[in-house]
Structure formats: structure tokens, C-alpha cells
Structure 1
Amino acid sequence: MLTFTTACSGSEEDIGAAKGTPTAATVTAAPAAGVVAPAKVEVIAGLTGCTAKIRIDADELRQGVCHTQEADYLITTFPEERYKESWLEAAALYGGQYLVGSRWVVSAQPKMLSGFRPSLGGTIRQLGGAGPSAAPTAS
């Protein structure tokens, strides 16, 4: 476990936390995950039980798709938090629920998001949709 955590963390704080040393920053991660996000698409996919096929590998984001018997879902990671927030703003036009962590987002059916949360951590966010609205009624 220590080797995995150390390999995925980039700061002395993370390494100190892995050794049980108290640190100034407190990071909340899912107990089963054993890593502190941000993580790579491949790491998140592994924690959800799939091997992701990378479909976008750009400067602003990496995105992989997982195909399972239950459903298909997307895992998107970002090099900076601001890219994630921009992505979420754009996704809000379509609405839906997303599992959101530190520089990563999982797009899946709501029941799958709830199932992933214990192993990935993060927060389930409901984004608003911008679909057609009902016409005003005459009073």
C-alpha cells in the first residue's frame, strides 16, 4: 500500500500522510481508494473495476471510456482544477449527475456513481440542464 500511495503522490505532505505522520493539510479520500486524488484515468478505472480505453489525450484533459456489462461510463482527469471547473460549466448545459473529485470527474448512471463513491471518494454533483421550458401560460 505504501508503495502505491507514494508512487501516486507528488508532495512531501502526501508521503508523510502515507507514513502516518501528521500534516498541515487534511485531504479526504475514500477509505477503500487508498490514494489521494488527483489520479490518472487508468488508476481511477482500476478502482472501478475496468481498463479504460483512452479517447482524448489533450493538454486540458484526458478522458477514458469504460465498457462494462452494467453500463458504459467516462473518466475525465484534468491537469489543473480550473480546467475541471470549466468542463463542469459546459456539462451543466446537459444536466445530470457526476462524481467529482480533485481534478477528476466520472460520468455515469446515478446508481453507478453511488457505487463508485466508496472506492473513489469525491462528491456527487447534480448539474442543471438547459432544455426547452414550458411556454408561459395566460392568466
Structure 2
Amino acid sequence: MRGAALAAGLAFLPLLTACSNGGEDGAAASSKPPEISDAPAAAVVAPAKVEVIAGLTGCKPKIRIDADELRQGLCHTEKVDYSITTFPEEKYKDTWLESASIYGGTYLVGSRWVVAAKPEMLEGLRAKLGGNIQQLQGIGPKPAPSTS
């Protein structure tokens, strides 16, 4: 059951990151995620439930995964769709991020939680939630630079 829940959570990664990687080139992605310092609100959120984090961002989440290793809720707003994933222990978050690094992408990461959204929306969410914005390295070919 645990492995299936983790696999189900990871199955959503390509869907969430497919739209969030546009415009990145190989130089912009690194193997070590860059971090932006915590906002003062981080203490309010860390660690928290999906519903608490969603409430701070003005959304009522639809819970997609409710398992021992993680809970994931999806938020839909007029501006952006995003997911909030919480973990009972840091080790589960670390495993999730390691698995997500295969797909690449930019995430807002806090203590036992991760928010996946379009990169341009993460700074606004960080102002509300705290955490660090992390860029994860994907594998495989990178899009060719635009010549236009």
C-alpha cells in the first residue's frame, strides 16, 4: 500500500511539471537546487496539513492522495492550478524530491511539504507560505534554444 501511494504521488509529477519547465535551458538547471531564503511566514506553515497550506493560499483543496507516506491536494484558482503535498516525515519529502528530480521543475519546498505550480507563481506563494524555491534537474534532452 505504501509503495503504491508513493508511486501514485509520483505519477502526478509529469502532469504538474510538464507546463512548469517551459523556457528553461541546460544552463538554468543545476544538479543542486538553488534556494531562496525563508519568508517570515514559514513558521506558520511548517509542518502543516494540506488544508492549512491551501487555506493560507486562498483555496479549498481537492484531496487526491491520502496515504501513510504523503497527502496531496489539488487547488484550482482563476490564476493558477497547483498541488500541495505534505509528508509525515522529512525522509518521505526527500524521497519525493529525489524522484521528482527525474522530471525537473521548480517547486516551493518547506518543512515536510512541497507546492508544485508554474514557476512564475511560486514567488507569490512563497510570500504567503515561506519555504524555499528549488529548481530540480531533469534527465533527458533539453529543449533547443529558440532562434526567433
**TM-score normalised by L of structure 2:** 0.67
Whether the 8 Å contact between 2:63 and 2:71 is mirrored in structure 1 is yes
Higher RCO (C-alpha 8 Å, min separation 6): 2
For 1:65, give the aligned amino acid.
L
Which protein is bigger by CA-based radius of gyration?
1
1:86 matched to 2:87? The reply is no
Distance 1:39 1:70 in 2: 24
For 1:97, give the aligned amino acid.
T
Deviation, 1:70, is: 1.1
Structure 1 runs (4+) greater than 2 angstroms displaced: 28-34
1:53 matched to 2:62? The reply is yes
How many corresponding residue pairs?
107
Residue number in structure 2 paired with 1:109: 118
1:35 counterpart SS class:
helix
Whether the 8 Å contact between 2:61 and 2:73 is mirrored in structure 1 is yes
Residue number in structure 2 paired with 1:125: 134
Whether the 8 Å contact between 2:69 and 2:88 is mirrored in structure 1 is yes
Gaps of 5+ in 2: 1-36, 144-148
Distance 1:133 1:32, change over 3 A: closer
Residue number in structure 2 paired with 1:6: none
Distance 2:56 2:128 in 1: 7
Distance 2:68 2:54 in 1: 20
Distance 1:128 1:33 in 2: 25
Distance 1:72 1:47 in 2: 15
CA deviation map 1:83-132 (0-9, x unaligned): 00000000001101000000000000011111011110000000001123
1:55 counterpart SS class:
strand
Identity %: 72
Residue number in structure 2 paired with 1:98: 107
**TM-score normalised by L of structure 1:** 0.71
CA deviation map 1:62-83 (0-9, x unaligned): 0000011112100000000000
